[in-house]
Amino acid sequence: MRPEFVIPKVLPPAISWLKNHSDLAPLHGGRVSDEMMQTLPCLRVTVGFYLPANRWERKPVYQIDAWGSTRAESDNLGTAVANVWPDYKGAFGVSAYIAGAWLHTDGPLPLRDPDTQYYRTMVQAALEIHAGGF
C-alpha cells in the first residue's frame, strides 16, 4: 500500500469540522457526535451512503441531524449547517483534499422524531474527497 494514497475515514473529520466551525459552535455548544446526545441543541452526523467515485476518491453523503428543544432551535441550527457546508474545502487530514462540498437535498427538512418527540432538522450534505496527488 502506498501511504500517500490512503483514503481517510470520512466521519471523524466531518464531525470535527462541524464541532469547531466558528458560526456553528455557539449554536450547538460543542455537542456534535455520531450518536444522539441527551443535552440539546446538538448535531448527529452519520454517513448515509457513498456516491459513485473512482479508486482514489470518496463521495460520502452525510445525514446531519440538528436536534433542538424547540422547532425554531433545530431549524436555526440546521439552516446554519446548510449555509456553511459549501465552504468545507481544503486539506483533509495529512494525505487527502476536499475538492467539493454541496448539499445533497433541497433541505434543511424539519422532521420531528417519532420516538423522542424532539425537534429535528435534517440536512444531507456531500463531499468529494481525493486521496494523495493534490
pLDDT band at 2 (very low <50, low <70, confident <90, very high): low
Residues 62-119: pLDDT tens digits?
A: 999 999 999 999 999 999 999 999 888 887 766 678 888 899 877 789 988 888 888 9
pLDDT at position 94, please?
Answer: 65
Query: Which string of b and e fits 3-26 if b means at least 16 CB within 10 Å?
Result: eeeebeebeebbbebbbebeebee
More confident residue, 45 or 11: 45
Least confident span in 16-20, 41-45, 129-133: 129-133
pLDDT band at 134 (very low <50, low <70, confident <90, very high): very low
This prediction has a pTM of 0.88
From 107, 28, 34, 33, select the one nearest 69 (Cα to Cα): 28
pLDDT at position 129, please?
Answer: 86
pLDDT band at 132 (very low <50, low <70, confident <90, very high): low
Alpha-carbon distance of 55 to 73, in angstroms, equals 40
Residues 27-56: pLDDT tens digits?
A: 999 999 999 888 999 999 999 888 888 777
pLDDT at position 47, please?
Answer: 94
CATH number for the region 3-131 comes to 3.30.2000.30
pLDDT at position 126, please?
Answer: 92
